[in-house]
């Protein structure tokens, strides 16, 4: 960074002369260094998959959480600072419960995503705070069908048919651009998610360190058991 710009990265509330908020950009860098997450929609639901990136054989893979249930019909995958993500997920769970108690109906996926992003945006606007260094891929099914949203540390949101966050985003998005089809079934979508992760990790995907979550119109959000995930990954990669 140029010395002339150093003063502008000291506080979140100060724009640089070229219109940048450096602390938000640093938070995006934290996301880019995070583990790769992918998500894609299929006919009746959404698949999320994450490479946990276990860096030592001494680590228990089950202790690393990257996919979370928010409500029965909504789940999310996180890339970046997991502690920040847990804080946002706790707030999202509370919003979902309050909505159900108040209106006696499940919260709409987009409504919940907007509330999360509104909260994230406030942390880019006040002194004494920092942006959340995490990007969430939020998947759900509501009256309008399957939905998949990506959230940014700035509080921006975007809806996708297929998307990825983290260090391998470029490789996964390239794979989706070439192979994604809108009329896929559940099994095909899960296999595509695994192959996109394999591409994103440059062929180094570890079946023991992969996590898969699925939400469908006819079933609640579910994180697949580790042995089931391992079998799916091994099969999708041709036994590699």
Dihedral over alpha carbons 61, 135, 85, 227 (to 10 degrees): -30
Question: And the tokens for 33?
Answer: 């260094």
Beta-carbon contacts of residue 39 (< 8 Å; ≥ 6 apart): 46, 47, 48, 49, 77, 137, 139, 148, 160, 162, 163, 164, 193
Is 35 catalytic? The answer is yes
Angular region, 231: left φ>0, alpha ψ -120 to 50, beta rest: alpha
Select from 136, 144, 114, 123 the least CA-distant residue to 217.
Answer: 144
Catalytic residue among 35, 151, 201, 229: 35
Q: Which residues are catalytic?
A: 35
């Amino acid at each position: 960074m140029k010395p002339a710009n150093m003063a502008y990265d000291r506080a979140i509330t100060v724009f640089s002369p070229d219109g940048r908020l450096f602390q938000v950009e640093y938070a995006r860098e934290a996301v880019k260094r995070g583990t790769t997450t992918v998500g894609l929609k299929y006919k009746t639901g959404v698949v999320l998959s994450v490479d946990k990136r276990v860096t030592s054989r001494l680590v228990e893979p089950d202790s690393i959480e990257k996919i979370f249930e928010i409500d029965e019909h909504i789940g999310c995958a996180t890339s970046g600072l997991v502690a920040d993500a847990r804080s946002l997920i706790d707030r999202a769970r509370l919003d979902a419960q309050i909505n159900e108690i108040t209106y006696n109906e499940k919260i709409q996926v987009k409504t919940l995503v907007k509330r999360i992003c509104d909260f994230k945006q406030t942390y880019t606007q006040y002194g004494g705070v920092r942006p959340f260094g995490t990007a969430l891929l939020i998947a759900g099914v509501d009256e309008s069908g399957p939905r998949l949203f990506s959230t940014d540390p700035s509080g921006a949101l975007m809806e996708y048919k297929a998307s990825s966050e983290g260090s391998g985003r470029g490789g996964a998005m390239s794979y989706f651009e070439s192979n994604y089809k809108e009329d896929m079934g559940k099994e095909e979508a899960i296999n595509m998610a695994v192959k996109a992760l394999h591409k994103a990790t440059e062929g180094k995907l570890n079946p023991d360190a992969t996590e898969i979550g699925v939400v469908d119109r006819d079933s609640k959000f579910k994180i697949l058991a580790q042995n089931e995930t391992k079998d799916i990954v091994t099969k999708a990669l041709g036994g590699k």
